[in-house]
Structure 1
């Protein structure tokens, strides 16, 4: 990090997290963002994307601009960060709060929460607001976030924000801000269509018109985290037997911290209820979970007081929880990106992890195709007399 000559307070914060050297994505991206250019970048999960944009934004717009010394009446919202889920938004907010020392006002805003409360919070003039494109646009339209003061817009998990369900809201957010803002977009899976769409917005002068501003698209070489840091296992189970297989696996392996992915919200609730009935403490987390239960589930999972969190793909994107040793996927997702993002919740930083797929015959057939596409090796496993063994072991 010394190569970037950050403010001493930022350097101290990095030291507190025992971060002594920049990751590859940070080396590539930090100078671009710190210089004020637009930046579209892709890097695998667990490579440090969040700090790659937060560090230079804080350095340039908070410390170098003198924002930190402004009296309250002169402060304003300088940074807007759009995220696809509230969980990711809270995580980004917490990382930013850590970098700023915890005293600076920040706000997370999503639909489903009181807009009146968000408006009230904006009277504190937070340096940054993190939220959904819809709610951010609402607050700008109501002039509670003064668009003319916003200097940077970030799309975290840009491919999710530009999916069909959220694309219109995301584009509306872009168009509601000055054309001179700095625009940053990142993801672990920013495909060609997403990059082309964002580049077209920049080229057609919808955003990023500050004098001498350039747009840089940075695609980091794969670090092969999926192959080098994550072991991929598969267990065969008919649909009716999947929950029993899951419970048996947990009893055999006794993992430290497990994230279980289910295909639907209904499956998520059913799985958590089944595990709890079988005396395996667990919580469910999906789009329909109320905010109190969401917070309770995440807090207990993070603290380790509950070792099993069952979730839909709500938690697959960007959620960074320390100590997850195992990912369990109840079936194979139709979109390979979902498989990658799910698996990427383990093996964070310098750790390794296990990604288990519990699938029926059709799903394991699809997994074989995915194995070739992602250049991973999946090892078949079996449960025998309460132990997990390789499928080719002689258990007789």
Structure 2
């Protein structure tokens, strides 16, 4: 990190995390963001995207601007970060709080929570607000976040924010802010349509520090995390046998920490209930999970006191939970990006991991096509006498 001449306090924080060398995406992106340019960038999961935008923003807007020395009554919200899930927003908030110190206020604002509480939190003049596009837009419309004070807007997991479900809210958020802001967007899977759409929107809106400033698009070369750091397995099971196959796999493999992905919230509940009935300690997590239970599930999973977390794709985007050794996908998602994001929850921070698909005949046929498309190798597995073996092993 020495090449960036960061404030000594930032360097100390990086040293505490044993981060001494910038990743490839950080080397490419940090100078651009530090200069105040709009930046759209794509980089694989686990490559350090969050710090790639947080470090230069903190350096320029917190330390170099003198924000850290301003009295409380002269402070304002300088940075807004939009995220598709509350879990990701909380993770970003925690990283910012680590960089700035716990005394510096960072606010998380999501729909479903009391807007009065968010308004109350804004009275403490947080340096940054992290939340959903609709709630951030509400607070700007109510003039609780003063748009003219905002200097940077970040879209974390931009492709998800610009999906059909949330595109209108995200566009509204961009248009609610002045042309003088800096815009940053990142994802592990930012396709050409998202890049083109964002670039066009910024151009027509005149968004940039100089009103229509240049937008840089940075697509990092693949680091082959999916192929080199993650081993891919497949287990065949008819739909009626999938839950029992999952239980048998967990018993045979004894993973240290496993994230199980299901297609729907109903499937999450069904799977978690089944495993609990079979005396497998686990938690279920999806969009409808009560916030207290959601926090408890994540805390238990992160600490390792609960080794199995069953979830929908809610947790596939952006979450960086240390020590996940195994991913289990209950079927093959229709969108290859979801497969990539799910698998990318393991093999973080130079570790390796296992990605298992439990699928029926049609799903394993789809996995074979995905295998060719993503240039991965999938190893068929079988369960035999309580052990996990290669499908071609002689078990007789």
User: Is TM > 0.5 for Structure 1 vs Structure 2?
Assistant: yes
| 8 A contact 1:252–1:387 mirrored in 2 | yes
In structure 1, C-alpha distance between the alignment counterparts of 2:344 and 2:135, rounded to whole Å: 28
Distance of 1:165 and 1:350 partners within structure 2: 34
Does residue 58 of structure 2 align to residue 64 of structure 1? no
Kindly tell me: are residues 206 and 166 of structure 1, through their superposed partners in 2, closer, same or farther at Cα, counting changes over 3 Å? farther
Residue 339 of structure 1 is matched in structure 2 by: 339
Partner of 1:378: 378
Provide the secondary structure at the position in 2 that maps to 1:165.
coil
Look up the SS of the partner of 2:107 in the other structure.
strand
- Alignment correspondent of 1:159: 159
- Looking at structure 2, the residues matched to 273 and 180 of structure 1 have their Cα atoms a distance apart, in angstroms, of 51
Alpha-carbon separation, structure 1, partners of 2:69 and 2:171:
34
Residue 205 of structure 1: how far off its partner (Å):
3.4
Answer yes or no: is 1:278 the counterpart of 2:278. yes
Deviation at 1:203, TM superposition (A): 2.0
Which residue in 1 is equivalent to 2:80?
Answer: 80
Deviation at 1:201, TM superposition (A): 1.2
The answer on whether the counterparts of 2:37 and 2:209 sit within 8 Å (CA) in structure 1 is no
Quick check: 2:234–2:380 contact (8 Å CA) kept in 1?
yes
Q: Equivalent residue of 1:62, what SS?
A: helix
Contact 1:36/1:213, CA 8 A, preserved across alignment:
no
Q: Deviations over 1:270-316 (max 9, x none)?
A: 10011111110000000000101100000000000000000000000
Q: Which residue of the partner structure matches residue 360 of structure 1?
A: 360
Corresponding residue number in structure 2 for 1:44:
44
TM-score, structure 1 normalization:
0.99
Q: CA deviation at 1:214?
A: 2.0
Asked if 2 retains the 8 angstrom alpha-carbon contact of 1:175 and 1:206, the reply is no
Partner-residue secondary structure (3-state), 1:50: helix
Contact 1:231 1:353 in 2 (8 A): yes
Residue matched to 1:4? 4
Distance in 2 (alpha carbons) for counterparts of 1:313 and 1:200: 29
CA RMSD, Structure 1 to Structure 2 (Å): 0.8
Which stretches of structure 1, 4 residues or more, deviate above 6 A after TM superposition?
Answer: none
- How far 1:215 sits from its partner (Å)? 1.2
What secondary structure, in the 3-state scheme, does the structure 1 residue paired with 2:165 have? helix
Gaps of 5+ in 1: none
Q: What's the CA shift string for 1:357-392, capped at 9, x where partnerless?
A: 000000000000000010000000000000000000
The answer (yes or no) to whether the contact 1:40–1:218 under 8 Å persists in 2 is: yes
Classify the secondary structure of the residue corresponding to 2:388.
strand
